[in-house]
Amino acid sequence: MGWTAAPADATAPAEATAPADATASAEATVPAAEAAPVPACTARTGPYQWDLEGHLKLPADGRQSTADCVAIRAFQQRTGVKPADGYAGLATYRTMLVVQARANPNAAGKCPVRTYQVTCVDLDRQLVWVQRGKQVIYPPVPARTGRDGEETRTGWHTVYWKHRDHFSDLYNNAPMPFAQFFNDGQAFHGVLDDLFRGGSHGCVNLRYADAERLWHVMHEDDAVYIWGAKPGTWRSMGPPSEAPAPVPQG
């Protein structure tokens, strides 16, 4: 018995017979996704309100407004400050100092310029950067330095030992990742807690990622220069004769 070919359109997919606008009609019935509403910005006036208003070119009156809150929150979102809630707190202020210093952290010339590499520690602004000559090879990052009675020592120092996975012999075996020692036990190292709270025992604390990057930039025998005074310490408030006697540390 002979074989008969099927009609030319017998194998065409069933959907080929659907009206040309069937898909469009189906899509038209699905409502467009609505954008999530932006929550209202309701943060109160922060302790660094004036500073953030000046930096963000807002009307400077030291009082929070809705526009201030929204602008500060946008700054926090851009720079990774958490929570990004529009409150002009310490972490936001310290991040502002980093942003301001990026173009030229040594604009005031307080860190000596040398032909060799120098790690600069500005206690006044709580910033660290590395320069060789006038070239910044490690941009400024926030730091936490020594509290009253355990101040980070100022002046010239030299990195004398590096230990990637160090633990403190003095402070309850506390982790000191990417430790780089520069003066009698004081070191640059990373921390996992809130960098913007309190003070150290004299070390220069950095965020973990910043300490890791600095580890690859600094070397043994590198020069370190430290100046200024940590804000809020007695040293920052005037000469010793004008400051109260230190409280013994436990």
As a whole number of angstroms, the distance between CA 214 and CA 19 comes to: 65
The radius of gyration of the chain from alpha carbons, rounded to an integer in Å, stands at 29
Residue-level pLDDT at 118: 98
Question: What band does 18 get if pLDDT is binned at 50, 70 and 90?
Answer: very low
Residue-level pLDDT at 170: 73
Q: What's the sign of the alpha-carbon dihedral 66, 68, 69, 70?
A: positive
Tell me the C-alpha to C-alpha distance, in Å, between residue 129 and each of 78, 81, 234. Answer: 21, 20, 25
When pLDDT is averaged across residues 115-131 and rounded to a whole number, the result is: 98
Q: What are phi and psi of 81, to 5 degrees?
A: -75, 135
Residue-level pLDDT at 237: 62
Confidence (pTM): 0.79
As a whole number of angstroms, the distance between CA 120 and CA 114 comes to: 12
Structure tokens at 180: 């780089």
Residue-level pLDDT at 35: 72
